[in-house]
Structure 1
Amino acid sequence: MERILGSALLPQRTASSNHASLPLRLIATLVLWQRRIVSRRQLARLDARLLADAGISENQRYTELNKPFWR
């Protein structure tokens, strides 16, 4: 599921904007965590046929579902 979630939400860092972009980075991190939670809930609901259609094995699903939301 991680390949679906890009890093487009994370703002670009520059030396002068590190301090100013802290709230933006925090918001981007929270959005990313929320998207992971939703994505993993959806993954948990897929049946064997849909997993096969997506090219995801039961082992891959198990591994993804057991990750904490921050990873």
Structure 2
Amino acid sequence: MNTQKLTSHSFQSARAANLSAASLLSQVVQTLRRWNQLARQRRQLASLSDEMLKDIGRSRADIEWEASRPFWDDPDRR
């Protein structure tokens, strides 16, 4: 294999690895943002008054159950 082909192949491999790493990093950031969003929403639900919960048709027990779920427990990922 000549030097030009070797360099070209190495560059393409490095580029593919960079794209793969960038894609992985993007997925990690997206997951962390989603987990943060879930944790924030659950804290907000837990802070609602009983009157507000009644308005949205939920009981305090429903909200306590939801708020006690771990942040990584994403209902959209099932």
Count, aligned residues: 55
The unaligned stretches of length 5 or more in structure 1 are 1-18
Q: Which residue of 1 aligns with 2:37?
A: 35
Q: TM-score, normalised by structure 2?
A: 0.62
Larger Rg: 2
Q: How does 1:45-56 map to 2 (within 5 A)?
A: 45-56=47-58
CA deviations over 1:3-62 (Å, ceiling 9, x no partner) = xxxxxxxxxxxxxxxx35211110110000110111111111101110011121222111
**Superposition RMSD on alpha carbons, in Å?**
1.9
Local SS of the residue matching 1:55: coil
**Which structure shows the bigger proportion of residues in helix conformation?**
2
**Unaligned stretches of 5+ in structure 2?**
1-19, 74-78
Aligned to 2:24: 22
Structure 1 residue runs of 4+, over 4 Å off?
none
Amino acid at match of 1:21: S
